[in-house]
Amino acid sequence: MTNHNHIKILSEHLANQIAAGEVVQRPESVVKELVENSIDAGAKTITVVVKEAGKQLIHIIDDGKGMSVDDLELSIVRHATSKISSIADLHNIMTLGFRGEALASVAAVADVEIRTRTTGAETGWSLTSQPGGKPELKPIVTDVGSQMFVRNLFYTTPARKKFLKSDLTEFRHISETMQRLALGNPNVRFVFYDGSNIVFDVPVAPLKQRIADVLSIDPSRQTVTVSGNESGIQISGVVGLPSASRQSRSGQFLFLNGRSIVSRSLAHAIASSYDHLLDNGQHPVFVVSLTIDPHRVDVNVHPQKNEVKFDDERAAYLAVQHAVSEALRNASVIPSFLGELPLASRPLQSLEGTIPSEATFVNRFTGEILTSKGYIQQGTWSDRKVQGAEWSRTAQVGIDALYSQSDAVEPSQVMRVGVEYVATTSAEGIVLIHKRRAHERILYERAMKMVGGESGSEQAILFSSKFSLTPSRAILLKEFLHEFVALGFKIEVNLDGTVSVHAVPTDVKPGTEEAIIDEILQEIERGGSTPSARSKEKVAAAYASRQSFRKGETITENELKSLTRELFNCSVSHITPKGEPTFFIIPYIELRGRFE
Amino acid sequence: MKFTVALPDLHKALQKVIPAIPTKSTIPVLEHVHTALVGNELKFTATDVEITISLTIDVVGEVDGAVLIPARHFNDLIKELGNAGNVTVSVDPDNWLIAILTPSGNFEMKGLNVHEFPNIPAFPESVKAWIPKDDMAKMANKTVFAVSTEEYRPSMTGVFFQFTPTAVTSVATDGFRLSRVTVAAPKDKPFPDALEVIVPARAVELLRKIEGDVDLDVSRTHARFVIGALTLTTRVIDEKYPPYQNVIPTDNDKTLVVNQRDVLNAIRRVSLFANTNTRHVRFKMTENKLSVHSEDEDSGGKGTETIACEFSAENFEVGFNYRFLEEAIKNVTTDDDPDLNVRMTFSTPIRAVLITPGVTADSLLMLVMPVKI
């Protein structure tokens, strides 16, 4: 008994099942495809319920425009889509889904039920389908919008089902996707349930607030708004300050024309803007979206549609890097000491403590008090005349604070607070400075200047010290010798691993050479390997950390003053190289509140 | 215990023992001065465990006895009483209440039983040396500024005294500069051979203004300076002193001779424009001109002064920490003679610079390590 005809045309159903694998890899893909459909349908509220990590049930409810009965019938047919009809359209993709594959693919591997009604239609329709079977249509009563039930995913393809990970992992994937969708669409309310437990319910909100809701970070203290427009790429979003950084990349989200994307290159561009602000192993949090002419990107690279190709990868990289760097630089909220440059560049100062929606500003040149409402209504600041009665008490406090010290040009009074802190005043309030961290920041910037080419001065020492290092540290020292020399060390590493020191940077205390060198190396070691381009930062940071004031070390009044002055002359003054805050401000308004 | 003493005598005596009273001690009893009367001799003893000072003065004694008097409190009162008249101090041994009768009032303070005072052991077996007053003061004055204040190298936190039968050399260094003062032994009283001791800077500081010749006793652990009625005992630093002879250059080939006062004034003015962190000042020498220059990139200030000098080479440039340089030049001579010259010798911009008085005399020598700018 022989049958030589081994090759057969696959049945359409089988072909669909195979192709479906490309789109529907795991429950998360179903959620993503279906929610994107809902978004494309103009939904304002999307509710997602998953059971057993979506293996048992994925239920999506939206209030979008719904489908007519004809559309419904076609919806589970492969390449049926309402979104493109010609090749030209393919290049103008601004909707999220476009291949017309999603529903068909899902229907090939799971039981699907769709209930939908369009606005104005008297009845809704339901469609029930089983893999390989003929879909059934019947009229039902339902709300405007669509509901999808995807049950028993992959039950007809046991091999694929076997490849699914534990419920926990699969649920994590779904959850990440839901976060991504929520972040990408702040104008849609998302409600997300795991069984009967609510995971999140985020109302429509500005992006900053949405980020705060989804990633649970403090939007006003821990994030900075990014915006930029370069090489035709519009960039907007929010990045976290170093204090909000995480041990993993879990807080990183990129969007392109509203679609969530994965781009190692762009993620790197953002991370590189943080430069030395983050420790090794720390990853910034960001939600950045790019808007670009759809012709200039190819999103059809991967069926998952989250990898993209730019016509000019480099331009995109630079544009993102610039925008983020700029935002971070501006975020170093330097307290404005009157008379200094920031006054000229920031004539309008928001008075803290006012409600954000009715923020109060003071024009620091004219003394005018303005509310943002007034600004918006009147268009310009000068239109609004300040009348006594309108001076909110809040504003009065701020203005008093401003002008009570009008001839101060720099932090004039500096006071020791305990052993660790220094207090001074600025136009905004009381500035509390962490002594050691401030010192670390100053030393770091000084060290960076030196390793950056402006070599430090070597103080020659009378008794050159000789000591030995462990072989691995000796090798490390050789590797970083150039940076050590730039700081002002004069070091010889001998073949037997001993080290001779003949000169030290001027602020190194005699007798401490060995300890300092060893500790810097230790710190470098702890940081793990880094690209050689970062070695300067590394040595500078280790040096700063080692040389900064010890806890309890006392310094003179003058040293406190120059510490304060130098801190605010730093290019980044608000955090240490490790990302710890160096100072904070207690606004006058808060003080006033406490006395009421 | 009861005695009467002239105010100026008491005031002076307290000034001398107070330095041994710790400012804030974990052992409150040390904030007291041990006061003992035997006949007409009143002996004060103060200690912070490291340094002990005792001083005997003449008083009019009535009742012998001993008590611990709160030192600062007592001193504050005596200071305020001025220099006219006598005070009578009497102590009630039942409750250690100290009554002080002054020309215009009477005061009472609470004393303590002397049994609470730490035992001061007898001075052990020792090697002795006799140092004339001026020589001791000179050695103390000219070295102590260069002592290291860092605890990392304990040996450098003191002044090293090295005796040979014919001379004593005192050395202080903090690793960046070094000061060495040598004085010859008095003709009739040779020094002991091979006596070496490191005396903590605090004790040396107290030897700068002494009123008499010094009988020195050195044991393995302590040094005792007896100056008339005053005895200063200090723990010594039991460490090996760094090999300072090796770092004194012998081959510096360029010599600068310059008026001490001129160069100091130039450094003082120019250094006002130096960066306060790095304290750099630069010497630029030609055959007959020395220019002293400083600048601070951070503030944008700079300053230069040019003064006449004699220089043995053509052109040479070297940088310093101005504080080290100023202290070394200031201390290289003993008298404040406006015509005095200092001699500085150089080899390369990173080797030690030698500073000596203009006239050749190797009794005083300063070393300053330059800064490569």
DSSP A56-117: SEEEEEE-S----HHHHHHHTSTT--SS--SHHHHTT--SS--SS-HHHHHHHHSEEEEEEE
> What is the SS3 assignment for A573?
coil
Kindly determine whether residue A462 and residue B175, on different chains, have CB atoms separated by under 8 Å: yes
Give the whole-angstrom CA distance, residue A396 versus residue A400: 6
Supply A364's token pair.
């620091």
Reported CATH class of domain B248-368:
alpha beta
User: Would you list the domain boundaries of chain B?
Assistant: 2-116, 127-245, 248-368
User: pTM to 2 decimals?
Assistant: 0.61
Supply A410's token pair.
């720099």
Which residue does chain B place closest to A509, by CA atoms? B150
Q: Which residue has the higher pLDDT, A139 or A390?
A: A139
Best of B179, B299, B372, B373 to mutate (most A CBs within 10 Å, chain A): B372
Q: For chain B, say whether A595 makes contact (Cβ under 8 Å).
A: no
- Residue listed under structure tokens 């001193």: B75
Q: Which of A129, A142, A141 is nearest to A64 (CA)?
A: A142
Q: Measured between beta carbons, which residues in chain A are less than 8 angstroms from residue B320?
A: none
Kindly determine whether residue B371 and residue A461, on different chains, have CB atoms separated by under 8 Å: no
Q: How far is CA A335 from the centre of its chain?
A: 25
pLDDT score of A379 more than 50: no
Query: How many DSSP H helices and E strands does chain B contain?
Result: 6, 27
Confidence of residue A412 (pLDDT cuts 50, 70, 90): low
Q: Measured between beta carbons, which residues in chain A are less than 8 angstroms from residue B299?
A: none
Q: In this structure, are strands A145-151 and A111-117 parallel, antiparallel, or unpaired?
A: antiparallel
Q: Which of A113, A587, A80 is nearest to A362 (CA)?
A: A587
DSSP string, A424-491: EE-SSEEEEEEHHHHHHHHHHHHHHHHHTTSPPPEEEEEEEEEEE--HHHHHHHHHTHHHHHHHT-EE
> Residue B144 half-sphere exposure, CB side, CA atoms within 13 Å?
17
Confidence of residue A9 (pLDDT cuts 50, 70, 90): low
pLDDT at A354: 43
Handedness of CA A491, A492, A495, A496 (dihedral sign): negative
CATH homologous superfamily of A12-202 equals Histidine kinase-like ATPase, C-terminal domain (3.30.565.10)
Kindly determine whether residue B352 and residue A507, on different chains, have CB atoms separated by under 8 Å: no
pLDDT, one tens digit per residue, over A312-350 is: 888 888 888 888 877 877 665 445 443 333 333 333 444
Q: Rounded to a whole number, what is the distance in Å from the CA of B6 to chain A's nearest CA? A: 41
Best of B149, B153, B320, B365 to mutate (most A CBs within 10 Å, chain A): B153
Kindly determine whether residue B156 and residue A510, on different chains, have CB atoms separated by under 8 Å: yes
CB A230 within 8 A of CB A320: no
Q: How many CB pairs under 8 A join A and B?
A: 71
How long a stretch of residues is chain B? 373
Handedness of CA B9, B11, B14, B16 (dihedral sign): negative
Best of A439, A443, A462 to mutate (most B CBs within 10 Å, chain B): A462
In this chain, the answer to whether the domains covering A12-202 and A345-596 adopt an identical fold is: no
* Cβ neighbours, 10 Å, residue A40: 18
Q: Which of B152, B173, B373 sits opposite A457 (nearest CB)?
A: B373
How high does pLDDT run on average in chain A? 74
Q: Rounded to a whole number, what is the distance in Å from the CA of A558 to chain B's nearest CA? A: 11
pLDDT at A1: 46
Handedness of CA B244, B250, B254, B257 (dihedral sign): positive
Q: Which of A513, A506, A515 is nearest to A488 (CA)?
A: A506
Q: How far is CA A382 from the centre of its chain?
A: 37
Could you give phi then psi for residue B109, rounded to 5 degrees?
-140, 160
Q: Which residue has the higher pLDDT, A277 or A447?
A: A447
User: Would you list the domain boundaries of chain A?
Assistant: 12-202, 207-338, 345-596
Residue B155 DSSP one-character state: G
pLDDT at A4: 60
In this chain, the answer to whether the domains covering B127-245 and B248-368 adopt an identical fold is: yes
Q: Rounded to a whole number, what is the distance in Å from the CA of B332 to chain A's nearest CA? A: 19
pLDDT score of A117 more than 60: yes
> In chain A, what percentage of residues exceed pLDDT 90?
3
CB A239 within 8 A of CB A253: no
> In chain A, what percentage of residues exceed pLDDT 70?
73
Q: Which residue has the higher pLDDT, B128 or A400?
A: B128
Q: Which of A180-189, A504-513, A520-529 has the lowest mean pLDDT?
A: A520-529
CATH homologous superfamily of B2-116 equals DNA Polymerase III, subunit A, domain 2 (3.10.150.10)
pLDDT at A162: 76
Kindly determine whether residue B175 and residue A460, on different chains, have CB atoms separated by under 8 Å: no
Q: Which of B156, B173, B350 sits opposite A460 (nearest CB)?
A: B350
Q: Which residue has the higher pLDDT, A299 or A139?
A: A139
Give the whole-angstrom CA distance, residue B256 versus residue B174: 25
Classify domain A345-596 by CATH architecture.
2-Layer Sandwich (3.30)
Q: Is A345 left (phi over 0), alpha (psi -120 to 50) or beta?
A: alpha
pLDDT at A525: 78
Confidence of residue A357 (pLDDT cuts 50, 70, 90): very low
Alpha-helical (H) ranges within B207-306 are 260-270
Q: Which of B96, B370, B234 is nearest to A502 (CA)?
A: B370
Confidence of residue A543 (pLDDT cuts 50, 70, 90): confident
Q: At what angle do helices A27-40 and A102-109 cross, to 10 degrees?
A: 140
CB B210 within 8 A of CB B182: no
CB A83 within 8 A of CB A40: yes
Best of A461, A463, A508, A546 to mutate (most B CBs within 10 Å, chain B): A463
pLDDT at A387: 36
Which residue does chain A place closest to B243, by CA atoms? A463
| pLDDT tens sequence for chain B (373 residues) | 999 999 999 999 999 999 999 887 778 899 999 999 999 999 999 998 889 999 999 999 999 999 999 999 999 999 999 888 999 999 999 999 999 999 889 999 999 999 999 888 888 888 999 999 999 999 999 999 999 887 778 899 999 999 999 999 999 999 899 999 999 999 888 999 889 999 999 999 999 989 999 999 999 999 999 999 999 999 999 999 999 998 899 889 999 999 999 999 999 999 999 887 788 899 999 989 999 999 987 778 899 999 999 999 889 999 999 999 999 999 887 666 777 889 999 998 889 999 998 775 668 899 999 998 7
pLDDT score of A62 more than 50: yes
The B-side interface with A (CB below 8 A) comprises: 148, 150, 152-153, 156, 173-178, 242-244, 247, 276-280, 319, 321, 350-352, 367, 369-373
Q: Which of A459, A511, A562 sits opposite B152 (nearest CB)?
A: A511
Kindly determine whether residue A460 and residue B371, on different chains, have CB atoms separated by under 8 Å: yes
Reported CATH class of domain A207-338:
alpha beta
Q: Which of B174, B279, B372 sits opposite A460 (nearest CB)?
A: B372
Give the whole-angstrom CA distance, residue B367 versus residue B198: 19
Q: Domain spanning B127-245 has what CATH number?
A: 3.10.150.10
Q: Measured between beta carbons, which residues in chain A are less than 8 angstroms from residue B153?
A: 510-511
Give the whole-angstrom CA distance, residue A133 versus residue A138: 16
Interface of A with B in 438-497 (CB under 8 A): 446, 457-463, 490
Q: Which of A446, A459, A512 sits opposite B176 (nearest CB)?
A: A459
| C-alpha torsion A308→A314→A319→A324, nearest 10 | 80
CB B263 within 8 A of CB B320: no
Handedness of CA B360, B361, B364, B367 (dihedral sign): positive
Kindly determine whether residue B175 and residue A506, on different chains, have CB atoms separated by under 8 Å: no
Confidence of residue A16 (pLDDT cuts 50, 70, 90): low
Could you give phi then psi for residue B37, rounded to 5 degrees?
-115, 125
CB A188 within 8 A of CB A43: yes
Kindly determine whether residue B371 and residue A459, on different chains, have CB atoms separated by under 8 Å: yes
